[in-house]
Amino acid sequence: MKKINYLILILLLCVLIYVLNLYFTINIIEDDSFTSLIKEMAEKNHNNSSLFIENYNKALTLEEKRKVMITNEFYECIYKNKEHIHTKFHVNSFCGHFIRF
């Protein structure tokens, strides 16, 4: 009877490990597309400074102007740390003080 209980426990543990592995693999794939998109946007923002000026001038309220400034600072932070950013966790670790995902 004890052998059956141990076998069931080991089987459940193996299934749990498999499910967790699958979950983290899917998250890494999603993180990769997310971070590559954020990096591309940051590079575009860095290379074309007129985008910030245009968005800032379009903003009507002080709140909108703050959002544009924070977004610009976020993209600059991403651009400066792009070699270290590979996942959403890295985005939040390096630049989460501007915008958090």
More confident residue, 101 or 87: 87
| pTM confidence score | 0.70
Average pLDDT, the chain: 86
Phi, psi angle pair for 64, to nearest 5°: -65, -40
Q: What is the pLDDT of residues 15-61, one digit of tens each?
A: 888 777 766 666 666 677 888 999 999 999 999 989 999 999 999 99
Tokens of 80: 């400066």
Look at residue 54 and give its three-state secondary structure: helix
Q: Check pLDDT > 90 for residue 11.
A: no
The pLDDT assigned to 72 comes to 94
Contact call for residues 81 and 94 (beta carbons, < 8 A): yes
Coil, strand or helix at 60: coil
What is the predicted pLDDT for the residue at 99? Answer: 85
C-alpha 36/C-alpha 27 separation (Å) is 14
Count of Cβ atoms closer than 10 Å to residue 3 Cβ: 7
pLDDT at 100: 78
Provide the pLDDT for residue 39. Answer: 94
* Interatomic CA distance for residues 68 and 70, integer angstroms: 6
- CA dist., res. 63 & res. 69, Å (int): 10
With pLDDT > 70 as the criterion, what percentage of the chain qualifies?
88
